[in-house]
Amino acid sequence: MAEKLRLMAVHAHPDDESSKGAATMAKYVAERHEVMVVTLTGGERGSILNPAMDRPEVLENMTELRRAEMAEAARILGVQHRWLGYIDSGLPEGDPLPPLPDGCFALVPLEEATEKLVEVVREFRPHVIVTYDENGGYPHPDHIKCHEVSVAAFEAAGDPDRFPSSGEPWAPLKLYYSHGFSRKRMQAIHEAMLARGLESPYTEWLAKWDPDKPDNADRITSRVECGEFFPIRDDALRAHATQIDPNSRWFFVPLEIQQETWPFEEYELARSLVDTTLPEDDLFAGINEKVTA
């Protein structure tokens, strides 16, 4: 049996882990590797996006419900889970944008949040860390802060001079950014839907796409084939019942079309302390040789 390796996925809110890289995590769990999701905030300020859950008692118990949803999603994915304990910043809306709420994650000093994440990294000892790029995947202040904290923790965790009271140093070997939405992927699925006489959920989106806008597909270095785990991904998504409407766009494309057309989850290798050849089909590429050497 291959060496058991460890992957840590760092996310801003509960449900992010199920919409970004969930099938990859389920695949590695099935291969008997260890996977941990670290959720930086409790998602307390998330809107209720499932009409069936838009009830006063849900709003009153949002914090407890989101923790229960996260526990169920982690169970479905088979991953370990840790909360970092920060408060959701919410998504500012309006012109001009309102100030961020006092005490929210986006306003926490970078050094403070980095130390807390470094402690978890040194405890779990991941070989690979996955997070968001510098744009956060989309410009939510918690996603952008998640990127900043994850990169800082990746660089600090192996340095014995940084945060010496936060555990024995451990240097992760690879850092990835997840890239779930690309024009190429949407175009391929759009065409597959139309070819089968089905309505595409991407028609309007593609029509409005600015041709001069950079496509995440241009940054992708690594594609993990994980289509057989899409059903697990979808079950984990549905576990976040306050956030995910089972009748929403997440589920418009039949699984068999996704599995035939784009059975991958895609990533950008941002840092590597091991030799690897791009493009990759495995986030652990190059690590077994390092670990067993």
Binding residues for Zn(2+): 13, 16, 143
Q: Which of 72, 66, 172 is nearest to 125 (CA)?
A: 172
C-alpha 56/C-alpha 69 separation (Å) is 18
C-alpha 115/C-alpha 121 separation (Å) is 10
C-alpha 183/C-alpha 192 separation (Å) is 14
C-alpha 225/C-alpha 164 separation (Å) is 39
- Residue ranges of the annotated binding site are 13, 16, 143
Single-letter amino acid code for the residue at 164: P
User: Prior bond to 201 cis, omega within 30?
Assistant: no
Contact predicate 127/7, CB 8 Å: yes
Q: Which of 20, 39, 21, 19 is nearest to 29 (CA)?
A: 21
Q: 4 is written with which tokens?
A: 């058991």
Q: Specify which residues 283 forms β-bridges with.
A: none
| Strand-strand pairing, 222-225 and 264-272 | antiparallel
**What b/e readout covers 151-161, taking b as 16+ CB neighbours within 10 angstroms?**
bbbbbbbbeee
